[in-house]
Amino acid sequence: MLYKAFFYLLSAGLIAASLALGNWLQDYFTLSVPGSVLGLLILFVGLVSGIIKPHWVQPSASLLIKYMILLFIPISTGLMIHYQILIDNALAIIISTVLGTLFVLCLLSLALDKLLNEDR
């Protein structure tokens, strides 16, 4: 029991530390990228490089994913509160979403085509 609690605290601590480091970097360098995104990138680099082992963050990550739907409740409430703003800007939101999706799709297809042609 104590062993399991230790690993939950360790994994939550690693996730929180990467978030705190990302927030600190964002504040220190006054970046426009959110600190949470920087923290996610720091955690990703740590996992890919092997500095952080996946089984170290797995307990808390699984718990967060399991209850992720609860994290969308504040967003949904905010959308309901600001419904009129969304309606007023619906055309711009739809156009930017569609064009952004098409841009990313085209960019990824070109990158994949280039990567696949390098193998030949």
Task: Using the Cα atoms of residue 58, residue 5, residue 36 and residue 18 in order, give the sign of their dihedral.
Answer: negative
Average pLDDT over residues 38-46: 97
Vertex 96, ends 86 and 44: CA angle to 5°? 100
The answer to whether the beta carbons of residues 23 and 42 sit under 8 Å apart is: no
Residue 100 has a pLDDT of 97
pLDDT at residue number 73:
87
pTM of the predicted protein model: 0.66
pLDDT in tens, 56-96: 999 999 999 999 988 888 888 888 898 999 999 999 999 99
Please say if the pLDDT value at position 119 is more than 70: no
Domain ranges of the chain: 1-119
